[in-house]
């Protein structure tokens, strides 16, 4: 099945929730499969914090033959988030006002801004109805915002390991990461690699919230009882920081963690509960029982306040990262949701 990468260009002022604006923007998006004649076989994915539009790179096990989202049956699409660094307009893009990269001048954006940009792409593709919208973590936040803003556009939504508003705990973790970036002496520079060493430390901080005590015990326990330094867990943290720095940049990390922190579906609306009631799509909320960053009570809250929503919990030793690992559980849960009636709560 042919995979295609494309660029959507929007010309004209794009107003942002903060009061600022972009004079124009572009979104890079990846598609797999073909639209049917009715144009109603669309599966739309919203990626996580450091993801790209190429979902076949980080979620490929969910979009193959024999899965609930078989590309022979569906047209699958994912757009790189506004503010990202994988082809969409972000801090490294040229500022049309100055003809130089934005860098620190890139305006603050929110999940509402991001999904409003996605919706312009949807309209440009002539897609009136999306069969299923799904995403995890930051992507799950965007799923909720989009389903609230455009309730008629979605038949089904699947928000995973996410929340109605970002918690003080999670904001504190993100702030600690940004403090690490700020502590990098290069961060104030207008340079694509500014803040890179700080971002390595930020990622190491983040990894502790993505995984669990059990995960580290299973994978990073010392084999030599006499070790005094250079522990496996230490080298693992440095490896993860270097790995991210090879493919991402600190400016996008900064912008997108800020977007995550500002996530609040009740902002400017009557209440959080009323905002969630505006969702009309059939909803499956998925949580992970060991998630430290987005505790499972946050997903249960969503299921309680989205009309008719169903809830499922995945068991995982991997914590928040379980939604990128537990493919067999995920496929089974989604298949049941799309093809069968099941109880309000499923636990596999």
Judge if 34 and 115 occupy the same domain.
Answer: yes
- Interatomic CA distance for residues 258 and 252, integer angstroms: 10
pLDDT band at 48; cut points 50, 70, 90: very high
pLDDT of residue 339: 87
Confidence of residue 1 (pLDDT cuts 50, 70, 90): confident
Annotated catalytic residue 291: yes
Instruction: Give the model's pLDDT for residue 348.
Output: 39
Is 186 found in the same domain as 142? no
What is the percent of the chain where pLDDT is above 90? 96
Verify that 156 and 51 share a domain, yes or no. Answer: yes
Tell whether the model's pLDDT for residue 236 goes beyond 80: yes
Instruction: Give pLDDT tens digits for 68-127.
Output: 999 999 999 999 999 999 999 999 999 999 999 999 999 999 999 999 999 999 999 999
The pTM score is 0.96
**pLDDT beyond 70 at 341:** no
**Mean pLDDT of the 308-328 span:** 96
The residues with which 8 forms a beta bridge, in sequence order, are: 27
**173 pLDDT more than 90:** yes
Say whether both 250 and 271 belong to one domain.
Answer: no
Predicted local confidence at residue 167, as pLDDT: 98
| Pairing outcome for strands 21-32 and 3-15 | antiparallel
Do 307 and 200 lie in a common domain? no
Q: Do 88 and 113 touch, CB atoms closer than 8 A? A: no
Residue 240 is part of which domain span? 170-260
> Does the pLDDT value for residue 342 go beyond 60?
no
Q: Where are the beta strands (DSSP E) in the chain?
A: 3-15, 21-32, 42-46, 75-79, 94-95, 100-101, 130-136, 154-160, 282-288, 310-314, 345-347
What does pLDDT average to over the chain? 96
Mean pLDDT of all residues in 196-207: 98
Catalytic-residue membership of 131: no
pLDDT above 80 for 331: yes
What's the rounded Cα separation, in Å, for the pair 278 and 281?
9
Q: Is residue 60 domain-shared with residue 135, that is, in the same domain?
A: yes
| pLDDT at 175 exceeding the cut of 80 | yes
Q: How far apart are CA 313 and CA 298, in angstroms?
A: 12
pLDDT tops 60 at residue 270:
yes
Shared domain for 335 and 220, answered yes or no, is no
Same-domain status, 134 and 199: no
Reply yes or no on whether the pLDDT at 343 is more than 70.
no
CATH number at residue 231: 1.10.1740.110
The answer to whether residues 143 and 251 belong to one domain is no
| CA 57, chain centre distance (Å) | 14
Q: Compare 41 and 339 and report the one with higher pLDDT.
A: 41
CA distance 57 to 106: 28
Residue 346: the pLDDT is 47
Which of 159, 171, 167 is CA-nearest to residue 299?
Answer: 159
Model pLDDT for residues 5-43, shown as the tens digit of each residue = 999 999 999 999 999 999 999 999 999 999 999 999 999
Which of 213, 229, 260 is the endpoint of a domain? 260
For residue 168, give both structure tokens.
């003080």
- The per-residue pLDDT for range 285-315, each reduced to its tens digit, is 999 999 999 999 999 999 999 999 999 999 9
Mean pLDDT of 144-166: 98
Do 53 and 150 share a domain, yes or no?
yes
Whether pLDDT at 345 is above 60: no
Looking at residues 167-190, what average pLDDT do you find?
A: 98
Separation between Cα atoms, residue 51 and residue 38, nearest integer Å: 30
Q: Which of 81, 262, 320, 321 is catalytic?
A: 320
User: Looking at the predicted structure, is the pLDDT value of residue 58 above 80?
Assistant: yes
Which residue, 224, 243, 260, sits at the end of a domain? 260
Tell me which of 52, 137, 209, 252 is the catalytic residue.
Answer: 137
Domain count, the chain: 2
Instruction: List the CATH number of the domain containing 63.
Output: 3.40.50.1820
**Of the residues 245, 291, 316, 321, which is catalytic?**
291
Average of pLDDT values for 130-141? 98
- Do 112 and 243 have their domain in common? no
Tell me 264's DSSP state.
Answer: B
- 47 carries an active-site annotation: no
260, 281, 299 — which closes off a domain? 260
- Asked whether residue 145 falls in the same domain as residue 15, the answer is yes
Residue linked to tokens 């990390």 = 253
């Amino acid at each position: 099945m042919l995979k295609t990468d494309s660029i959507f260009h929007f010309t004209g002022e794009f107003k942002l929730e903060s009061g600022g604006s972009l004079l124009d923007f572009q979104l890079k998006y990846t598609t797999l499969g073909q639209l049917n004649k009715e144009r109603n076989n669309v599966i739309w994915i919203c990626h996580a914090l450091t993801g790209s539009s190429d979902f076949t790179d980080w979620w490929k096990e969910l979009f193959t033959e024999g899965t609930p989202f078989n590309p022979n049956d569906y047209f699958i699409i994912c757009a790189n988030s506004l503010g990202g660094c994988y082809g969409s307009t972000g801090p490294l893009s040229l500022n049309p006002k100055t003809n130089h990269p934005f860098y620190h001048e890139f305006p603050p954006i929110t999940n509402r801004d991001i999904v409003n940009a996605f919706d312009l792409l949807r309209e440009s593709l002539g897609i009136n109805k999306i069969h299923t919208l799904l995403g995890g973590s930051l992507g799950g936040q965007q799923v909720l915002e989009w389903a609230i803003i455009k309730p008629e556009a979605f038949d089904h939504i699947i928000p995973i390991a996410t929340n109605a508003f970002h918690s003080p705990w999670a904001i504190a973790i993100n702030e600690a990461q940004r403090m690490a970036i700020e502590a990098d002496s290069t961060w104030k520079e207008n340079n694509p690699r500014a803040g890179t060493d700080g971002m390595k430390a930020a990622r190491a901080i983040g990894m502790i919230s993505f995984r669990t005590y059990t995960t580290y015990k299973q994978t990073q326990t010392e084999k030599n009882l006499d070790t005094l330094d250079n522990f496996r867990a230490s080298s693992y943290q440095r490896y993860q920081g270097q790995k991210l720095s090879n493919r991402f940049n600190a400016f996008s990390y900064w912008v997108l963690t800020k977007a995550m922190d500002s996530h609040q579906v009740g902002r400017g609306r009557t209440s959080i509960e009323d905002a969630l009631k505006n969702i009309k799509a059939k909803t499956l909320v998925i949580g992970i029982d060991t998630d430290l960053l987005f505790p499972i009570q946050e997903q249960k809250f969503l299921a309680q306040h989205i009309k008719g929503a169903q809830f499922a919990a995945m068991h995982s030793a991997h914590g928040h990262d379980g939604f990128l690992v537990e493919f067999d559980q995920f496929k089974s849960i989604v298949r049941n949701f799309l093809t069968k009636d099941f109880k309000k709560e499923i636990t596999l």
